[in-house]
Amino acid sequence: MLFPGFIDSHIHIIGGGGEGGDKTRTPELTLTGATAGMTTIVGVIGTDGTTRTMPDLIAKAHALEEEGISCYVHTGSYQVPVKMLTEKIEDDLILIDNIIDVGEIAIADHRSSQPTWQEMTKIAAAARIGGLLSGKAGIVNVHVGDSQSKLKVLEEVVEYTDIPIC
């Protein structure tokens, strides 16, 4: 039986974790770990946008591509302001082929930088413009934690702006 290759849209290719200190950091993805039927993956940074960086993420994506895995990445991590490879979200999307969207930005989570709806609006607008100009989707990937506020920040973006939600 033949199956098409699978896509995993959320892999910590340069490792993850670390919320319990350095000893809780997980190692970066190996080719063996990526080949369980996956032909395309999307790398994310996650919580640690300080010691896990965009240059590292892009370099790992390129290394996986050299091994035959299609690899894309989000620009940014849980935190706002978004840590990019260039100076602007739009530039990351337009100029860097591997960068396909923004994220994963955390909301309603104790590990989040607690972004306001105004900050999320600016991020979404930049992603939209970058997406339009690059031919990419211009999506903002959001991690939603278990806080009482849930989707409130995103609901306010929808209520107070003209940015499309899909």
**Segments making up each domain of the chain, as ranges:** 6-160
Task: Quickly tell me which residue has 């939603």 as its tokens.
Answer: 144
pTM: 0.93
What is the per-residue pLDDT for 4? 77
What is the per-residue pLDDT for 30? 84
Query: For the chain, which ranges sit under pLDDT 70?
Result: 1-3, 33-35
For the segment 110-153, what is each residue's pLDDT rounded down to a tens digit?
999 999 999 999 999 999 999 999 999 999 999 999 999 999 99
CB 36, CB 94: distance < 8 Å: no
Residue 36 CB neighbour total at 10 angstroms: 8
Report the CATH fold assignment for 6-160.
Answer: TIM Barrel (3.20.20)
Buried (b) or exposed (e) across 51-73, using 16+ Cβ within 10 A?
ebbbebbbebbeebeeeebebbb
Of 66, 67, 75, 68, give the one whose Cα is nearest residue 97.
75
What is the per-residue pLDDT for 35? 66
Residues 6+ apart with CB under 8 A from 161: 121, 124, 125
What is the per-residue pLDDT for 31? 78
